[in-house]
Amino acid sequence: MPRDIQPSRHRSVRYLLLTIGWLSVALGVIGIFLPVLPTTPFLLLAAACFVRSSRRFYLWLVMHPHLGPWIRDYLDGEGIPRKAKVYALSLMWASIAFSCYLVPMFWARIFMLTSAVLVSIYILRQKTLPNP
């Protein structure tokens, strides 16, 4: 657990962060099986919530045998596996294309496409780990 980050002193804030953290873990796990939901961002959000609310849950998440590596590789600055980059970009662009087809509003299409371009740039700028 990062030493420079202290848990919140307010009990209500800690409970709110715990709730958001566990909701994020649930959505992240669902995202493993459902291609529409991104896994890593939800797990990173959960880690951020847990680091401010519960040392025990933060360590559980980061040391988890299946969920932990996704978080540790990112937090350690090691990058994203090539397979994960391809998977994330492919599914994101497929879902954005389908959404643009379904949504008739021009401004909504522009928003979705702009978001997809920005997320793609972010993902592509991250270090690439070889496939395990």
Span 69-109, pLDDT tens digits: 878 877 787 777 777 788 778 888 988 899 999 999 999 99
**Integer CA distances (angstroms), 122 to 9, 73, 105, in order:** 34, 16, 26
Span 22-47, pLDDT tens digits: 999 998 888 888 766 777 778 888 99
Provide the strand spans (E) within 35-111. Answer: 80-81
**Integer CA distances (angstroms), 64 to 56, 111, 116, in order:** 12, 36, 30
Distance CA 71, CA 79 (A): 10
Put simply, whether the predicted model's pTM sits higher than 0.85 gets the answer no
Residue pair 50/21 in contact (Cβ under 8 Å)? The answer is yes
